[in-house]
Amino acid sequence: MLVLASKSPRRQQILRDAGIPFVVRSADVPEQRRPNESPADYVRRLAEEKAFAVTILEGEVVLGADTVVVIDGLVLEKPIDASDAIRMLRLLSGREHEVITGICLRSDGRKIVDAATTRVRFVPLTSEQIEAYVESGEPMDKAGAYAIQGLASKFIDHVEGSYSNVVGLPVALVYRLLW
Catalytic residues: 66
As beta bridge partners, residue 64 has 104
Helices 127-135 and 82-92, axial angle in degrees (round to 10): 140
Q: What share of the chain is helix, strand, coil (3-state, %, to 5)?
A: 40, 30, 35
* Single-letter amino acid code for the residue at 42: Y
From CA 36, how far away is CA 166, in angstroms rounded?
24
Q: How far is the first Cα of the chain from the last one, in angstroms, to the nearest whole number? A: 12
